Amino acid sequence: MTALAESAAALQPALVDLRRRLHRTPEVGLQLPETQGAVLHAIDGLGLELTTYDDFSGAAFVLHGAEPGPVVLLRADMDALPITEDTGVDFAFDGPRMHACGHDLHMTMLVGAAHLLCERRSSLRGSVVFMFQPGEEGYFGARHMIDAGVLTAAGRKADAAYALHVAPALLRRGVVATRPGPLLASVDRLHVVVRGASGHGARPHLARDPIPVAAEIVTALHTTVTRQFDIFDPVVISVGLFEAGAAHNVIADSARIDATMRSFSLAARERLADVTVRLCRGIAEAHGLRADVSVERQYPATVNDAEAAARFERVAAGLFGAGNVETFDHPLPGAEDFSFVLEEVPGAMAFLGVCVPERDPATAPYNHSSNALHDDAMLADGATLLAAMALDHLDA
Summarize pLDDT for 230-247 with one digit per residue, the tens: 999 999 999 999 999 999
Q: Which residues are catalytic?
A: 77, 137
pLDDT at 191: 98
Rounded Cα distance, 148 and 349, in Å: 22
End-to-end CA distance of the chain: 15
What average pLDDT does the segment 297-313 reach? 97
Contacts of 173 (CB under 8 A, 6+ apart): 353, 354, 355, 356, 357, 361, 375, 378
- Within its chain, how far is the Cα of 6 from the centroid? 30
Radius of gyration of the chain (CA): 23
> Which domains does the chain show, CATH number per domain?
2-183+302-395 (3.40.630.10), 186-299 (3.30.70.360)
Tell me the percentage of the chain whose pLDDT exceeds 70. 100
What average pLDDT does the segment 246-275 reach? 96
Q: What does the pLDDT look like over 90-118, one tens digit per residue?
A: 999 999 999 999 999 999 999 999 999 99
Rounded Cα distance, 13 and 74, in Å: 22
pLDDT at 2: 77
Contacts of 299 (CB under 8 A, 6+ apart): 186, 187, 335, 336, 337, 339, 340
pLDDT at 22: 98
The b-or-e profile of 202-230 (16+ CB within 10 A means b, else e) is: eeeeebbbbbebbebbbeebeebbeeebe
Contacts of 293 (CB under 8 A, 6+ apart): 190, 191, 192, 193, 276, 277, 280, 281
What average pLDDT does the segment 62-69 reach? 95
> How sure is the predictor about 396, in pLDDT bands with cuts at 50, 70 and 90?
confident
What average pLDDT does the segment 360-368 reach? 96
Helix (H/G/I), strand (E/B), else coil: 153 = coil
What average pLDDT does the segment 11-36 reach? 98
Amino acid at site 297: R
pLDDT at 246: 94
C-beta separation of 291 from 194 below 8 A: yes
Q: What are phi and psi of 123, to 5 degrees?
A: -110, 5
| C-alpha distance from residue 285 to each of 256, 258, 278, 294 (Å) | 16, 19, 10, 16
pLDDT value at 221 more than 70: yes
pLDDT value at 314 more than 60: yes
Instruction: With residue 186 as reference, give the H or E element that holds it.
Output: strand 186-195
pLDDT at 1: 54
